Amino acid sequence: MIVDLNELVMFLASYPRLHRQPYSMHILLGNCMFGRQVEAELVINFLLHTQPHSSEELEVLPIIGPCRVGKSTLVAHVCKDERVQDHFSEILWLNDLAFTDDERAFRQGYAMEHQNQVSNWNKDKRSLVVIELSGNLHEDAWNRFYLACKRSFCSGSKIVVTSSSDRAAKFGTAQALALKHLSHEAYWYFFKTLAFGSMDPETHPRLAQVAMEIARTQNRSINAAYIICYLMRNNFNIHFGARF
């Protein structure tokens, strides 16, 4: 079968190549942070960077940006990276439902609970603490928490703070990472690829139009795209898509 293929190979090589995204691209997007590769590497570099042994500073990286821009999703993807998991012995996520503008500090029970938890950690292991701020945290409360972590953590431990408020930038020892929404074009590509999976959107023009209308109403939210596209792939018909 291959005796006379030399001429065919030469003939085909004279034509320009057609580049297209593989139909498995939705699988790749599900395992990466689309449009945030640079930001993800910046966070990973911060986490893996080690200070000189003489430094006793506990490094803090604030990640700020509008609601639903993907701050927590970015950190979650970073924490799944093998380099990060091998570098830290423990990763603790704190959700600050107890933080409000009107309070001057942590609620007493919240503070005691987590400070005790911090003090019980193995001091010979590097730890990563991710704090998701839903509101503005009072500076006195932050200082107390930071000092408690500094006393309890071993060298090389890190803190990442995510917040929708620019005021969180002052808690950082490193320059804050500011996230912005994806462009409308990039978000539509992301949404379309996840929604149609291995199918070609051009073969389903009506459903593609419905998907575009749904994407416009999501304010370029990464989490909303994952949820809605998962539902659409499992119920791939025009009537289900129109419900959104």
The 10s digit of each residue's pLDDT in 2-34 is 777 877 888 877 777 665 554 555 555 666 667
Report yes or no on 19 lying in a domain: no
Report yes or no on 6 lying in a domain: no
Domain that holds residue 97: 37-178
* Other CB atoms within 10 Å distance of the CB of residue 110: 17
pLDDT at 115: 46
- pLDDT level of residue 120 (50, 70, 90 thresholds): very low
Length of the chain (residues): 244
The 10s digit of each residue's pLDDT in 67-104 is 888 898 899 989 989 999 999 999 988 876 544 433 33
The 10s digit of each residue's pLDDT in 180-234 is 988 898 899 888 888 887 777 888 888 888 889 999 988 888 888 888 888 887 7
Looking at the fold, whether 168 and 91 belong to one and the same domain comes out as: yes
Phi, psi of 141 (to 5 degrees): -65, -40
Looking at the fold, whether 46 and 136 belong to one and the same domain comes out as: yes
Read off the CATH number of the domain in which 87 is found. Answer: 3.40.50.300
pLDDT at 46: 96
Using the predicted structure, report yes or no on whether residue 161 has a pLDDT greater than 90: yes
Burial 129-163 (b: 16+ CB within 10 A, else e): bbbbbbbbbbeebbeebeebbeebbebbbbbbbbb
Instruction: Determine the average pLDDT of the residues in 119-137.
Output: 74
With tokens 């970073």, the residue in question is: 78
Instruction: Determine the average pLDDT of the residues in 138-164.
Output: 88
Using the predicted structure, report yes or no on whether residue 111 has a pLDDT greater than 80: no
Report yes or no on 210 lying in a domain: yes
Residue type, 173: T
Residue 215 sits at the vertex; the CA angle it makes with 222 and 178, to the nearest 5 degrees, is 35
Higher pLDDT, 60 or 145: 60
